[in-house]
Structure 1
């Protein structure tokens, strides 16, 4: 793997390496998944402050689904065919929309 590949796949924040969002995903799909990600992250904080462990778990499920859809968790997106990656993102979004 070249340094350029590494830069496309990972980012470093605060000395910690994080996987980047899959660049092949359509912008509207990324936007929808990131919206769910933001709501999930916000929900984790609200639920923690309220001491509601069930709500924390539900919000973390939302975060996990969104991050899997974005390619930031789960199989490395660069190891899979583009069609499979887009299908996984669409499936994650469908699951997230069921949570509404």
Structure 2
């Protein structure tokens, strides 16, 4: 989900940039160009960060951020153990 504070015009531009970067990843893979693929992956990451899909949370709900934590080390530990993962 994109940051809802983004203006629609900006969001549309960033989505177009993201999709072009994703196409560039595919083209680089097909041509087996590792340098181009790395550049394309960096462009995907940059677009996702600008959209708010990666990076620090843009929302403020007061809940702790458990991203980048092992499930067994969070309040979800019992659920994680129950699913047998």
TM-score higher than 0.5: yes
User: Which of 38, 46, 51 pairs up with 2:19?
Assistant: 38
The CA distance in 1 between the partners of 2:31 and 2:58, in whole Å, is 36
User: Which of 5, 27, 35 pairs up with 2:8?
Assistant: 27
The list of structure 1 runs, each at least 4 consecutive aligned residues, that deviate by more than 4 angstroms after superposition, is none
Could you say what the CA RMSD is over the residues aligned between the two structures, in angstroms? 0.7
User: Which of 12, 15, 34 pairs up with 1:53?
Assistant: 34
Show the counterpart of 1:72.
53
Paired residues in the alignment total 60
> Structure 1 stretches of 5 or more lacking a match?
1-19, 80-100
Bigger radius of gyration, 1 or 2? 2
Which has more strand, going by share of residues? 1
Q: Secondary structure at the match of 2:59?
A: helix
The CA distance in 1 between the partners of 2:58 and 2:42, in whole Å, is 20
> Structure 2 stretches of 5 or more lacking a match?
61-85
